[in-house]
Structure 1
Amino acid sequence: MKLFVLFLSAAAVLAVSSATAIQTTTEEPVEVTTLSQQNVESSKFDGIDLDLLTQDELEALMEAEDEKFTGELDIYLGANAINKRSRDDSKVARPKRWVPLAIAGGRIAFAAGRAFLSRYARNGITRSGARITKHYSRPGNYFTGLREFKKLNPTGVKRIGGSKFNGWTGTSGNYRVTVRSGSKGTTGANGSPTLSISSKGGDLVRKFRFD
């Protein structure tokens, strides 16, 4: 009888040990991300490892981004201008336009993005990880920034408050557009009014200062 009890106890211990072993082997392996892997991921912009680029290559990449940016703005602002003209024409009977004049007007309508960027001086590029900031400037003040903000025809516009800098934010096509009455200066003093245009995800920011 004692041998039978010992046999049952040994079997129970063996069963528990086996179950524990099975649970251990079925656990998913823990994926460990090293610091070097995090740095590699954080330096990628649009699938390109920025740490591998020379300064000239980075600037060439940003010039290509400017081509894409102005092209998208051209289409977005041009479509808005055409739609507005169509609404105005539907309200007032107008004579049919002379064809060459209409063609010239269409070219102007779809060049608003390029015209916008041409009004600013370029002041270099800075980056932190995968976040790139392109700096621009032109003479002006907060009201200049507000006019530029409105020219971008933003939608979903909301007022910014609750801090020492007031402003407005909205979206223009694929971009977040924000104008502020001031900015944080490098010396702690209040900086110039700014207009910022950010890509979705905020990996590329164009910052326009009005001095």
Structure 2
Amino acid sequence: MVSYNIRGLGSKIKKREVRELIQKQKIDFCFLQETKMENINEFDLKSIWGTDSVGFARRQADGRSGGILSMWNPAIFSSSSQWDISGALIVNGRWAAGNINGCFINVYAPQNLIDKEALWDYLGGVVCQNRVSPICIAGDFNSIRFGNERVGRGSQFSTRDMQAFDNFIRANDLVEIRLQGRTFTWYQPNGQCKSKLDRFLVNDKWLEV
């Protein structure tokens, strides 16, 4: 799986970049955030995935802001239901291997703290309703969990924001998958501030399977 805040998917260069990543890493499920596209047609989706056979769910951008896209290999996973809310795209379905139900949640959290707290509450309800199934929540959470996840000049952060995000993870017994590579996932263009905003969170059932 891969999760990527693409910061605009409209150009041929960005589409080719995602396609090459999917093909090189043999990706089965792709989470993209900030597509900045109001309309993504099936031709675009097949071009991005690299084949005519692709499953997908999308939350359109609001003008040139936001936009979430999930894509998957339909030979591996088939969707049974999907819906979107402000800040997340939720897909339920079944894995071919083992015939197991599962839930994928693609997150592009809002900047506003009140909106983020509402999102954490909603996703907590989704997790509770699906406790018997594997759940994977991935994307750009626009929040840090600990103080050392943001460093550099102008790196102030809201303690309430940080605590609300950490409480969401703990209250729902989610496990953060440790990532390799860089410690931080977002860098200010001038390099003076960096943060860890992107994550994979899973439940115990996911780890069992």
- Report the TM-score range of the alignment, normalised by the length of the smaller protein: under 0.3
TM-score (norm 2): 0.26
In terms of fraction of residues, the more strand-rich structure is 2
TM-score (norm 1): 0.26
Larger gyration radius, structure 1 or structure 2: 1
